[in-house]
């Protein structure tokens, strides 16, 4: 059973993350929203501090891991690295989502490495800043359509293909690239490889201009006969048609709650700012009265807050299940679907409730409304999450339910 109270051992981490979000992220949030593609130098020192927290076992935000606790079945409930990472991510994204995505060594590629790499790989890639490269020009949400190829040549794999919308693709030291070993086999042949940016054959073609998260660079990456050691393949090199796509998709079970946590943090920021603006306008949200006897703005706010709470609980549940070695694929998709949709609804409605203040740059509300949309798209769109949930609940395969 899940205790809804924040674990006592996580409270220092939450406080530290909140202070960082308040004192480091918020003051420079608007600056780097305007200066798209400029690297936030202020994050270097702070990233080193987060690395120290991760090393000490206290946990940071973003990449410190979603690795399943092998002791999770030895009695009692476990509140481990997954929950701490999610709680830290919520606080950091209360400050700024794009700046968290811009932090060295806190990329989604790092989360993939932390989740599925073996002990030797964990040590070898320790300290790398890794982006995640899945999407290609020919497909978006259908990750099984990967056409980037990886061909074994001696002790190396030769990678060829193009990846788009790679978050931190220019700044990162390495990229976790999804590629297929054999197109004719289908999903089962898709594997992930850690490709260091220093290797010949990997180039950043361009950076994208975006609606939101402007502080975070989003790159197009080309792989042209890029050779990587076979030891850089994450997971098993064997093509298991019985297991199919499940092996590589486990990465999403681990990273989707992190994206949900980003959405939860951003939604909370918008709600708090809206409550402040409404209060200054003389509108008080009364939790002791039914919504239908309160001003329309207060009633709407209560509805938004209910959506936020649901997303929050689903996100914590998915992380807790991972800590306790329980299958969480459905819960990971549920948290991502609910949080991704809710944060868009919440931020846009908050802009509406706050009128000119919400639409102008006097407040961060308009920025948050732009930043929120990507959280409903990357790591699997809203529609894909609903499809995954439906397949799992109905016991249907991807070929039976499209």
143-152: average pLDDT: 91
- 364, 343, 365, 370: which is closest to 353 by C-alpha? 365
Q: What is the CA radius of gyration of the chain?
A: 21
Any bridge partners for residue 131, and if so which?
175
Higher pLDDT, 325 or 50: 325
Evaluate whether the domain defined by 246-394 bears CATH number 1.20.140.10. Answer: yes
The encoded tokens of residue 119 equal 């002990």
Average pLDDT of 241-261? Answer: 74
Widest CA span of the chain, in angstroms?
A: 73
Q: In the numeric block, which tokens belong to residue 333?
A: 């998709």
Instruction: Please report the pLDDT score of residue 56 as a whole number.
Output: 58
Q: How many CB atoms lie within 10 A of CB 126?
A: 12
- Predicted local confidence at residue 399, as pLDDT: 82
Q: What is the pLDDT of residue 222?
A: 98
Q: Which pair of tokens denotes residue 256? A: 């989707």
* SS (HEC) of 204-231: EEEECCCCCCCCCCEEEEEEEEEEEEHH
Most confident of 237-251, 312-326, 338-352: 338-352
At 156, is the secondary structure helix, strand, or coil? strand
Residue 379 is a catalytic residue: yes
State the span(s) of the chain assigned CATH 1.10.540.
8-124
Q: How far apart are CA 130 and CA 109, in angstroms?
A: 5
Mean pLDDT score across all residues of the chain: 89
What's the full length of the chain, in residues? 402
Is the per-residue pLDDT at 280 higher than 60?
Answer: yes
3-state secondary structure of 235: coil
Confidence of residue 398 (pLDDT cuts 50, 70, 90): confident
**Residues 254/112, Cβ–Cβ less than 8 Å:** yes
Q: Please tell me the number of Cα atoms within 13 Å of 123 on its side-chain side.
A: 2
User: What pTM, to 2 d.p., does this model score?
Assistant: 0.92
Measure the CA–CA gap between 127 and 293, rounded to whole angstroms: 56
CA distance 399 to 397: 5
Q: Is the pLDDT of residue 277 over 50?
A: yes
Residues of the chain with CATH 2.40.110.10: 130-234
Closest by Cα among 155, 141, 151 to 182 = 151
Higher-scoring residue by pLDDT: 263, 247: 263
Kindly give the pairing relationship between strand 190-196 and strand 130-133: unpaired
Residue 215's Cβ-side half-sphere holds a number of Cα atoms within 13 Å equal to 25
pLDDT of residue 69: 47
Q: Indicate whether 276 pLDDT > 60.
A: yes
Instruction: Tell me whether strands 130-133 and 174-180 are parallel, antiparallel or unpaired.
Output: parallel
| Band of residue 235 on the pLDDT scale cut at 50, 70, 90 | confident
Looking at 3.30.720.210, 2.40.110.10, 3.10.310.10, 2.60.40.10, the CATH number of the domain 130-234 comes to 2.40.110.10
pLDDT score at 61: 55
The pLDDT tens digits of the residues spanning 169-207 come to 999 999 999 999 998 888 889 999 999 999 999 999 999
In terms of phi and psi (left: phi > 0; alpha: psi -120 to 50; beta: otherwise), the region of 20 is alpha
Identify the residue with better confidence: 213 or 244.
213
Segment 287-307 mean pLDDT: 97
* Average pLDDT over every residue of 10-26: 92
Please name every residue paired with 180 in a beta bridge, in sequence order, or none if there are none.
Answer: 149, 190
- pLDDT for residue 256: 92
Q: Give the per-residue pLDDT at 249.
A: 67
Q: pLDDT band for position 72 (50/70/90)?
A: very low
Give phi and psi for 138, each to the nearest 5.
-85, -10
Residue 155, pLDDT > 90, answer: yes
Q: Is the pLDDT of residue 49 over 80?
A: no
Model pLDDT, residue 82: 86
Q: Give the mean pLDDT of 148-161.
A: 98
DSSP string, 265-325: HHHHHHHHHHHHHHHHTT----TTS-GGGS-HHHHHHHHHHHHHHHHHHHHHHHHHHHHTT
What pLDDT is recorded for position 246? Answer: 53
117, 144, 195, 331, 364 from 113: Cα distances, Å: 5, 20, 12, 21, 33
DSSP string computed for 307-323:
HHHHHHHHHHHHHHHHH
Q: 8-124 — its CATH code?
A: 1.10.540
Structure confidence at residue 161 (pLDDT):
98
Do residues 169 and 223 lie in contact, with contact meaning Cβ atoms separated by under 8 Å? no
Q: In percent, how much of the chain has pLDDT > 70?
A: 90
Q: Residue 366 has which token pair?
A: 């308009």
Q: Mind listing the pLDDT tens digit for each residue in 221-230?
A: 999 999 999 9
**What pLDDT, in 10s, does the model give residues 358-382?**
999 999 999 999 999 999 999 889 9
> Which pLDDT value is given to residue 50?
72
- Summarised one tens digit per residue, pLDDT across range 86-140 is 999 999 999 999 999 999 988 788 888 888 889 999 999 998 999 999 999 998 7
For CATH 1.20.140.10, the residue range(s) in the chain are 246-394
Catalytic residue among 136, 273, 305, 379: 379
């Amino acid at each position: 059973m899940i205790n809804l109270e924040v674990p006592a051992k996580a409270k220092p981490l939450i406080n530290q993350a909140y202070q960082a979000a308040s004192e480091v992220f918020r003051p420079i949030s608007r600056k780097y929203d305007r200066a798209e593609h400029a690297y936030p130098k202020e994050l270097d020192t702070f990233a080193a501090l987060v690395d120290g927290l991760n090393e000490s076992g206290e946990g940071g935000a973003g990449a410190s891991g979603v690795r399943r606790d092998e002791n999770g079945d030895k009695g009692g409930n476990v509140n481990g690295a997954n929950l701490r990472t999610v709680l830290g991510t919520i606080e950091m994204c209360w400050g700024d989502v794009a700046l968290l995505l811009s932090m060295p060594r806190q990329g989604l590629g790092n989360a993939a490495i932390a989740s599925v790499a073996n002990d030797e790989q964990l040590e070898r890639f320790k300290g790398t800043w890794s982006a995640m490269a899945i999407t290609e020009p020919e497909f978006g949400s259908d990750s099984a359509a990967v056409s980037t190829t990886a061909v074994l040549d001696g002790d190396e794999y030769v990678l060829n293909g193009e990846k788009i919308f790679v978050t931190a693709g220019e700044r990162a030291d390495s990229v976790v690239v999804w590629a297929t070993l054999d197109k004719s086999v289908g999903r089962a042949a898709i594997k992930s490889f850690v490709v260091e940016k220093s290797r010949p054959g990997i180039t950043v073609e361009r950076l994208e201009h975006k609606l939101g998260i402007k502080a975070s660079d989003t790159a197009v990456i080309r792989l042209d006969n890029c050779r990587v050691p076979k030891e850089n393949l994450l997971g098993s090199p064997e093509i298991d048609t019985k297991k199919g796509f499940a092996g590589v998709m486990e990465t999403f079970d681990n990273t989707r709650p992190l994206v949900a946590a980003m959405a939860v943090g951003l939604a909370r920021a918008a709600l708090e700012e809206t409550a402040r603006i409404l209060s200054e306008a003389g509108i008080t949200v009364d939790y002791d009265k039914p919504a239908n006897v309160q001003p329309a703005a207060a009633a709407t706010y209560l509805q938004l807050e209910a959506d936020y709470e649901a997303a929050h609980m689903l996100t914590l549940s998915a992380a807790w299940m991972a800590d306790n070695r329980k299958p969480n694929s459905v819960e990971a998709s549920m948290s991502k679907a609910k949080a991704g949709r809710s944060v868009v609804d919440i931020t846009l409605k908050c802009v509406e409730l706050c009128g000119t203040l919400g639409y102008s740059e006097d407040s961060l509300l308009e920025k948050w409304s732009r930043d929120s949309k990507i959280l409903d798209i990357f790591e699997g769109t809203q529609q894909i999450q609903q499809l995954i949930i439906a397949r799992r609940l109905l016991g249907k395969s991807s070929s039976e339910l499209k």
